[in-house]
Every structure is written in structure tokens, then in C-alpha cells.
């Protein structure tokens, strides 16, 4: 009995010792940023065995709320913080500082059999509001358009909503799917479908459409000619210090940006 | 010494049940605390009965009628599909199958309950939806019918297993009496066994209903997610559960949209509360005999 207790205290004190010896960074938020955070954290921890980074998803809103409540070090977000969130943070004495860590283009995708290869922003808007209902109105095949959108709180939707819809409402018959993968899978199996997803998720199973004659690519996103693009962020409370600043600097370094590209996103520089 | 042990055990059991009750109260309190502020912004009538779910537009719309009906239709469809299959198999296992076959058939059907719902969802989005789209030459395979079909398969083990238990526990003397009076096997099943097992069967259907209306992953992946009242069974719908799951992660905490999602949770909670209450009333043994 006594020996067991002794053993237990020994193990406990050892684990606490190890835990204290390591600096831990906690990071949570956007599921879009998650693969970048995960991959860069692994590479970073290889070089810094004394730093431990724990990463969770949850969504941009969840991450930002956790930062405001002071429970995490870094909030990953696929959108800039909203003014309401900033006020909330200030009232709790938190000063959120954004660090851009990657670029992400949003590709508009259709089924590979669709002959349409270019759409204007105006046409895209008319499709999503339900004004254009058949591909033959755009010179395509005689096929009803199946409109696929993302759920309204996703960062991907937000960019699309801002750049394409400009305040107009997405038709209520549009399918709202919950992830980039769900969108590309559905478009690849639905001949009449149109959807949009992060560039990193576009595969050969779907056809990516040029917007205003500009094909989404690394080049066009970087030089700003392709309009459906966004920055991905990490937020910290005040200027990043110590291990946190080392980690963010690592992501922004050329080595970190290579990992960003490997994950299917676009590097900052 | 023995008395102390007995007392400690009782105290532990008491605390355990108390903690469970506290958890439930905390959850209910949390949901209402975050959900009720919405009704300062719109009336509960507008929330429940208007069809205008545009939570991130300005001005935002929080009319959840299409979402409530989405949940309702999907659950109804699931029960329509599941009832004949599960009651049929329950009758077969309990009354017709040989003891050896029964030993195999029941665990096999119950195995369906062990498959995680995300696996059902993946099966639906990658395999079943494209097939259904082709078979019925539809525009999209992610619709009310597909999600009802998968949900139906998911509730089969619940309904089948519980109603089979209810039928097997009908005393043999009832069957023997019925057969002795000259009734055939099928007359015995439908006129003697099923009426005697009625309570258990109704209870199993209500449990299946609760399972189907609360299911999230499958409808999130397969129902298509269009916030509309479907005009046919092949149109996409958006149940309440998938709305909460899809929108909660990215929304601003403490925002009206956040409150609206909790208000949807209140609606779900009330529906499941009443279905559980009815189950409880049905199952409760009569006091006087």
C-alpha cells in the first residue's frame, strides 16, 4: 500500500518536473489554419525540444474567444477579428495583435464535364442569388445549376460573401456544406454543381474556373490580380514574446513558408 | 466496521447520482443562459415560425422554421424507412427464427448501432449520394431522401432490439393459449404477441425518434444543408443539429448569432425532453394492479 503511494508521488512529481521544464504554447482556432499550425509546430518542435506546442481546432470564433478569455497563447483565424471581438478583448484587458502567416486563394469549381471555363463576378453573383438557374444561360450545357456554398460562419464563405455577393443573400435553395472537402467531393460527383473551396483542396476531380478571365494560381493570388483571396492569421495578446514569437517568426521564415506551400496554401513572399 | 463500509458505499452512490443531476441542470442552465438573450431581439413566434435564416447578414434573419421542419422531415422519413424493417426483423428474430439463427441475427443487427455516425456520413456522401443521384436522375444526391435513408438504417438496431426484447418477454402461455384456440402463427403474432408487447414497441419507436432527431454528423454531411422547406423528398434540407454544428465553430461568442444557435438547442432540448417524457409515461409500470 505504502509503496504504491510512494510510486505514485514519484511519477506525479516527475511528470510535473518535465512539464515545468518545457515551455508550452497553446494554440487553437480556425480549422483552415489547423494543417499549417500542425505541420509548422512539428517542424519547430524538432528544432526546439524544450518547447511544446499544443494545437486544437474548433473554429476561428472559438480560438478568438479563448484568446479573449486568456486561456490560450495563439488564436488561429481565417478572418480578421471583427470589431465586436476587438471591443470585447479590450474590455478584458487583452490587446490582440495579428500576424499574417499565409495566403489562401478561393477557387470556384465545377464538375470536370462542364464546358464553362470562365465566369464574371456578376455571373457568379447571379448564380448564387438564384437569378441564373441553368448552365445554358451562360452558354454551357442544358443542365440545372446545383449551387453549393459553405456554412455562413466559415471564413471561406466570408471572403466569398464579401467579394462576390456584396451584401446580396445566397438563395435559400443553395446547399450549405460544412467543409472544403465536402464541397469538392460533392462537386466532383454532381454534373450540374458549382462550389468554391480553398486552393489547397482543389484536385483533378473538379474543374477550377477562371474569374474575370484570371485563373486562380499561386502567381495570381500573390500579385493580387485574382480577387478571391484572403490572408490567414495568428493572433496573440500583445506583441508576441519569447517562445511564441520564435514560433511565429519560424512560420513567417522561408523555411516555415515552404511548409505552408506544402500544405496547399500560398506563401506570403 | 461493516457499518462504516456500508455507509461509505451509500454515500458514494448518492454523490454519484447527485453529480449526474447537477451536470444535467448545468447543461440546461447553460443552454438557456446563452439562448434566451435572442428573444430580446426577436419574438419567439418569429424565431419559430418565420422562414428566414440569414444569421450573418445585416440586418440578420433568425427565422428557424425551415430548420425545424428540416429536422422534422428527416426524422419522419427515417422512421418511415426504419419501422417496417426493424419491426419485421424483430418479429422474425423473436417469433420465427430458430434459436440458433436468433443467436446470430440479433448481434448482427445490433452491430449496426456500433458503427460511428461519421462513418455512416462518409458512406452517404461518397457512396450512397452519387448512386441515388444516378438512380433517380436528380440534380443532387445530398437530399432529404438520402439522409432519411441513412438515419433510418441507424435507428433500426434501436427499434429492433428493444421491440424484440419486448416481444420475447411476452409469456409463452399467451402464445400457447392463442395457438390452442386454433389461431395460426401469424394471427398469434399480430393479435396476441404484438398487443401484449405494445408498450415496449412504442417505447422503442420513441427512442428511435430521439436518436434520429438528435443525430448531427450524418445530416451535416448528407442532408445538403439548404435552409428551405423542401418541395419534394429529393430536395436538400438543413436540420437544426447540423446548423448548430456547422455554424458554432466560427461564430463570434456572445453575438446574436451565437444566441440563436443556443435557441435552436433549446428547441431540440424541449423536443427530446417531451419524447423522453412520453417514453417514461409509456414504460412506467402501473402502480395498482
- Domains within chain A, CATH numbers bracketed: 2-103+232-262 (3.40.190.10), 104-229 (3.40.190.10)
Nearest by CB to B139, from A146, A155, A169: name it: A146
Model confidence over A101-147: pLDDT tens digits? Answer: 999 889 999 999 999 999 999 999 999 999 999 999 998 889 999 99
Where is A25: in which H helix or E strand?
strand A23-29
Partners of residue B52 on adjacent β-strands = B63
CB contact (8 A) between residue A186 and residue B129? yes
On the 0-12 / 13-18 / 19+ scale of CB atoms within 10 A, A111 is buried
CA distance B40 to chain A (A): 19
Q: Specify the residue for cell string 465536402.
A: A182
B249, B259, B260: which to substitute to probe chain A, counting the most A Cβ within 10 Å? B249
Same domain, B201 and B249: yes
Question: Is residue A17's pLDDT more than 60?
Answer: no
Model confidence over B115-155: pLDDT tens digits? Answer: 998 999 989 988 898 899 889 888 888 899 999 999 999 99
Same domain, B26 and B144: no
A33, A177, A194: which to substitute to probe chain B, counting the most B Cβ within 10 Å? A177
Tell whether B225 is within 8 A of chain A (Cβ). yes
DSSP 3-state percent helix, strand, coil across chain A (nearest 5): 40, 25, 30
CB contact (8 A) between residue B221 and residue A174? no
Neighbours of A66 (CB within 10 A): 21
Mean pLDDT for all residues in chain A: 87
CB contact (8 A) between residue B139 and residue A174? no
Question: Is residue A100's pLDDT more than 60?
Answer: yes
Q: Which residues of A touch B255 (CB under 8 A)?
A: 84
Same domain, B264 and B140: yes
Cα–Cα distance for residue pair B233/B146, rounded to 1 Å: 9
Q: Is residue B112 part of a domain?
A: yes
Q: Which residues of B touch A185 (CB under 8 A)?
A: 125-126
CB contact (8 A) between residue A30 and residue B129? no
Q: Please state the rounded mean pLDDT for residues A63-75.
A: 90
CB contact (8 A) between residue B140 and residue A172? no
Domain extent for B25: 2-35
Same domain, B236 and B279: yes
Cα–Cα distance for residue pair B165/B180, rounded to 1 Å: 24
Could you tell me how far CA B2 lies from the centroid of its own chain? 45
Using CA coordinates, name the residue in chain A closest to B126.
A185
Number of domains, chain B: 2
Tell whether B141 is within 8 A of chain A (Cβ). yes
Residue of B230, B67, B208 whose CA lies nearest to B144: B230
Cα–Cα distance for residue pair A157/A149, rounded to 1 Å: 7
pLDDT for position B54: 87
Q: Is residue B56 part of a domain?
A: yes
Question: Is residue A196's pLDDT more than 50?
Answer: yes
Contact B163, B197 (CB under 8 A): yes
Same domain, B275 and B216: yes
Same domain, B19 and B80: no
pLDDT for position B288: 46
User: SS3 for B13-26, per residue?
Assistant: HHHHHHHHHHHHHH
Using CA coordinates, name the residue in chain A closest to B67.
A172
CB contact (8 A) between residue B228 and residue A172? yes
Specify the 3-state DSSP secondary structure of B66. Answer: helix
Q: Is residue B55 part of a domain?
A: yes
Q: Is residue B118 part of a domain?
A: yes
Q: Is residue B247 part of a domain?
A: yes
pLDDT for position B67: 93
pLDDT for position A6: 67
Tell whether B130 is within 8 A of chain A (Cβ). yes
Write down the pTM of the prediction: 0.78
B250, B252, B256: which to substitute to probe chain A, counting the most A Cβ within 10 Å? B250
Residues of chain A numbered 37-66 and touching chain B (CB < 8 Å)? 57-62, 64-65
CB contact (8 A) between residue A186 and residue B238? no
Neighbours of B143 (CB within 10 A): 27
Specify the 3-state DSSP secondary structure of A95. Answer: coil
Q: What is the CA radius of gyration of chain B?
A: 23
Residues of chain A numbered 121-180 and touching chain B (CB < 8 Å)? 144, 146, 151-155, 158, 161, 167, 169, 172-178
Give chain B's residues under pLDDT 70. 1, 250, 285-289
CB contact (8 A) between residue A62 and residue B249? yes
Tell whether B251 is within 8 A of chain A (Cβ). yes
Tell whether B139 is within 8 A of chain A (Cβ). yes
Tally DSSP H helices, then E strands, for chain B.
Answer: 14, 2
Same domain, B25 and B51: no
A24 phi/psi in degrees, rounded to 5: -110, 130
pLDDT for position A217: 86
Q: Is residue B73 part of a domain?
A: yes
Q: In whole angstroms, how far apart are CA A54 and each of A16, A23, A38, B191?
A: 17, 11, 9, 62
Cα–Cα distance for residue pair A97/A116, rounded to 1 Å: 42
Cα–Cα distance for residue pair B196/A211, rounded to 1 Å: 67
Q: In whole angstroms, how far apart are CA A38 and each of A27, A44, A121, A181, A235?
A: 10, 10, 34, 18, 16
Contact A88, A216 (CB under 8 A): no
pLDDT for position B167: 92
Q: Is residue B168 part of a domain?
A: yes
Residue of B228, B257, B263 whose CA lies nearest to B44: B263
Pairing of strands A74-77, A118-119: unpaired
Tell whether B63 is within 8 A of chain A (Cβ). no
Cα–Cα distance for residue pair B36/B43, rounded to 1 Å: 11
CB contact (8 A) between residue A175 and residue B224? yes
Same domain, B98 and B22: no
Same domain, B74 and B188: yes
pLDDT for position A27: 92
Cα–Cα distance for residue pair B177/B164, rounded to 1 Å: 21
Q: Is residue B204 part of a domain?
A: yes
**CATH number for the domain including B178?**
1.10.3720.10
ipTM of predicted assembly, 2 dp = 0.71
pLDDT for position A182: 85
Same domain, B198 and B79: yes
Sign of CA pseudo-dihedral A174, A175, A178, A180 = negative
On the 0-12 / 13-18 / 19+ scale of CB atoms within 10 A, B15 is exposed
Specify the DSSP class assigned to residue B189.
Answer: I
Q: Please state the rounded mean pLDDT for residues A82-94.
A: 90
Nearest by CB to A152, from B51, B56, B221: name it: B56
CB contact (8 A) between residue A186 and residue B125? yes
CB contact (8 A) between residue B226 and residue A169? no
Same domain, B19 and B70: no
| Complete DSSP assignment for A133-200 | -BGGGGTS-S-B-EEEEE-TTSHHHHHHIIIIITTPPPPTTSEEESSHHHHHHHHHH-TTEEEEEEGG
pLDDT band at A268 (very low <50, low <70, confident <90, very high): confident
Same domain, B18 and B116: no
Q: Which residues of A touch B252 (CB under 8 A)?
A: 61, 64-65, 82, 84-85
Amino acid at each position: 500500500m505504502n509503496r504504491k503511494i510512494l510510486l505514485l508521488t514519484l511519477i506525479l512529481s516527475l511528470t510535473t518536473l518535465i512539464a515545468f521544464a518545457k515551455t508550452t504554447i497553446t494554440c487553437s482556432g480556425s480549422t483552415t489554419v489547423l494543417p499549417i499550425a500542425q505541420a509548422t509546430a512539428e517542424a519547430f518542435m524538432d528544432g526546439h525540444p524544450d518547447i511544446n506546442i499544443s494545437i486544437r481546432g474548433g473554429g476561428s470564433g472559438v480560438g478568438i474567444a479563448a484568446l479573449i478569455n486568456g486561456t490560450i497563447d495563439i488564436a488561429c483565424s481565417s478572418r480578421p477579428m471583427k470589431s465586436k471581438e476587438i471591443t470585447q478583448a479590450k474590455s478584458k484587458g487583452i490587446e490582440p495583435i495579428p500576424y499574417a502567416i499565409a495566403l489562401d486563394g478561393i477557387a470556384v469549381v465545377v464538375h470536370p464535364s462542364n464546358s464553362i471555363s470562365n465566369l464574371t463576378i456578376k455571373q457568379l453573383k447571379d448564380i448564387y442569388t438564384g437569378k441564373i438557374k441553368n448552365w445554358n444561360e451562360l452558354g454551357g450545357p442544358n443542365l440545372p445549376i446545383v449551387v453549393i456554398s459553405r456554412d455562413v460562419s466559415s471564413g471561406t464563405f466570408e471572403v466569398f460573401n464579401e467579394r462576390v455577393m456584396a451584401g446580396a443573400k445566397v438563395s435559400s435553395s443553395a446547399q450549405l456544406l460544412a467543409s472544403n472537402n465536402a464541397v469538392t467531393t460533392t462537386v466532383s460527383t454532381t454534373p450540374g454543381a458549382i462550389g468554391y473551396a480553398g486552393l489547397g483542396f482543389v484536385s483533378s476531380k473538379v474543374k477550377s474556373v477562371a474569374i474575370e478571365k484570371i485563373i486562380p494560381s499561386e502567381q495570381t493570388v500573390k500579385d493580387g490580380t485574382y480577387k478571391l483571396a484572403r490572408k490567414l492569421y495568428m493572433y496573440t495578446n500583445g506583441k508576441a514574446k519569447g517562445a511564441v514569437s520564435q514560433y511565429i517568426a519560424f512560420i513567417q521564415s522561408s523555411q516555415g513558408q515552404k511548409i505552408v506551400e506544402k500544405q496547399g496554401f500560398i506563401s506570403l513572399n | 466496521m461493516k457499518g462504516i463500509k456500508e455507509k461509505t458505499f451509500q454515500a458514494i452512490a448518492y454523490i454519484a447520482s447527485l453529480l449526474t443531476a447537477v451536470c444535467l441542470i448545468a447543461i440546461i442552465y447553460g443552454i438557456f443562459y446563452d439562448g434566451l438573450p435572442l428573444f430580446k431581439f426577436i419574438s419567439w413566434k418569429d424565431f419559430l415560425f418565420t422562414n428566414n435564416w440569414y444569421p450573418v447578414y445585416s440586418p440578420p434573419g433568425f427565422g428557424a422554421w425551415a430548420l425545424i421542419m428540416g429536422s422534422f422531415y428527416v426524422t419522419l422519413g427515417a422512421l418511415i424507412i426504419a419501422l417496417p424493417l426493424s419491426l419485421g426483423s424483430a418479429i422474425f428474430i423473436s417469433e420465427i427464427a430458430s434459436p440458433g439463427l436468433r443467436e446470430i441475427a440479433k448481434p448482427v443487427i445490433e452491430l449496426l448501432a456500433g458503427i460511428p455516425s461519421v462513418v455512416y456520413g462518409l458512406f452517404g456522401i461518397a457512396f450512397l449520394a452519387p448512386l441515388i443521384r444516378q438512380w433517380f436522375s436528380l440534380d443532387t444526391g445530398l437530399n432529404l431522401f438520402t439522409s432519411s435513408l441513412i438515419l433510418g438504417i441507424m435507428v433500426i438496431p434501436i427499434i429492433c432490439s428493444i421491440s424484440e426484447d419486448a416481444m420475447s418477454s411476452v409469456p409463452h402461455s399467451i402464445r400457447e393459449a392463442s395457438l390452442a384456440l386454433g389461431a395460426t402463427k401469424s394471427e398469434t403474432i399480430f393479435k396476441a404477441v404484438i398487443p401484449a408487447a405494445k408498450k415496449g414497441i412504442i417505447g422503442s419507436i420513441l427512442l428511435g425518434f430521439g436518436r434520429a432527431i438528435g443525430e448531427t454528423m450524418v445530416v451535416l454531411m448528407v442532408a445538403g444543408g439548404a435552409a428551405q422547406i423542401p418541395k419534394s423528398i429529393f430536395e436538400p434540407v438543413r436540420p437544426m443539429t447540423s446548423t448548430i454544428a456547422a455554424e458554432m465553430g466560427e461564430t463570434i461568442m456572445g453575438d446574436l448569432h451565437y444566441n440563436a444557435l443556443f435557441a435552436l438547442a433549446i428547441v431540440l432540448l424541449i423536443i427530446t425532453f417531451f419524447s423522453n417524457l412520453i417514453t417514461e409515461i409509456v414504460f412506467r409500470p402501473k402502480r395498482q394492479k
